[in-house]
Structure 1
């Protein structure tokens, strides 16, 4: 499917709204996160895998990762050409291994460990994917501190969302 849309922003996250009619063409009756392959203005060279998030009325938010926006040289407010296909190869659950530095820290913090175990698989996957992209020791330390704080029950922002009571 190919269509034109404007990149908007919602709670600090760039997205494209995919109408219920378009979502139905991709996968009729789907109400949970919808795995798709996308290109924005023909980029990236290969398709980018993303889960569209349900709005609740049959439409979906297609959040645009920074790598996709960089590859397509786009920003919020731009009208873009969206190519989107259902990702039949999608596998649910974490795709990245838990970094030893995170596992060790969870082992020392029972509350954070319990809350980590209680997170939905999609949230665990999101955190582990984020951690897999961290390169410097400073970035790992900074994000470990934030992760342990929110998993311990502190209300704070981490990974573009507000966490309360460990979730």
Structure 2
């Protein structure tokens, strides 16, 4: 969907924000055996820690090879667009979930010598949420917001070549 570097940046910021927000609330709920208003407010500052890490990992690393890997599963232009979107989302989740679980384990869980099993458990707990949130909620929401932001801007420009 993004066509320019600026659009890629906006798309990446939106996707990162909504994924980090959901995953932080999910993990706060897991740790506290449920989510309450107090726990939600207490977990929000963690977003400021994990958001920049997630953005850098996704925008500068995973987004550079995810489309190439996804194109091995589907062919943009030949396959239905939904299959291209799903392939790209699945590849991104497959890499981002372990990467971000690594950072969350390192920063928030302080596992010491038990790092590997704590990290693996974190990946296993986070993967279903990351997958379903991305496929059914975050991805569609961000694509919707992105279309609103950039289609209005281009369609409201003077002398546009729109058929009436």
Q: TM-score surpassing 0.5?
A: no
Instruction: Tell me which of the two structures has the higher relative contact order, counting C-alpha pairs closer than 8 angstroms and 6 or more residues apart.
Output: 2
Higher relative strand content: 1
TM-score by length of structure 2 reads: 0.29
